[in-house]
Amino acid sequence: MNFNKLLLIYFFILFSCEPDDLCLETYADTPKLIVKFFDSNSQENIVIDNIIVEDNDRNIILFSGSTDSLSVPLDYIRQQTSLNLTYSNNLDKVYINYATNEVFVSKGCGYKMNYVLDNIILENDNENWINFLEIINHNIAEESNYHVKIFF
């Protein structure tokens, strides 16, 4: 086959695709829950040192280290995510309850999931390092702002 025929076939394949057939990186994926840590006294966003965040249901560590915020993937099948947050060898259990909303993105990308937070429950063990939690944005459709504040 000569070079011109190969070039013609290449251009035909390249330009025959509709933009909707391709999933570009500019399309948003299923968003994660964004959590920020705040000092209970000053109400200021602060870095928390040596925190371990574990997804209880999937038995995986989501984060370990120092941070001022977390990005938590939610379980779209169960509509509840159970987390263990360990700080200074003190484990607090948090249960995040939400509804799901499937959103069509395109033929190439398929669907993504958005969430609506119902509530967040902190299991009380009389030694909680988390003082309280506050939902700032119930709709989880993007990750540009945080959705939940954790005060400690």
Residue 45: DSSP 8-state: B
pLDDT tens sequence across 15-56: 555 555 567 666 668 999 999 999 999 999 999 999 999 999
Query: Token digits for 86?
Result: 């360990």
How far apart (Å, rounded) are the C-alpha atoms in residues 152 and 136?
16
Residue 113 has pLDDT above 70, yes or no: yes
Element (H, E) at 80: strand 80-87
Q: What does the alpha-carbon distance between residue 142 and residue 30 come to, in Å, rounded to a whole number?
A: 8
**What pLDDT does 108 receive?**
79
As a whole number of angstroms, the distance between CA 108 and CA 116 comes to 25
The pTM of this model reads: 0.82
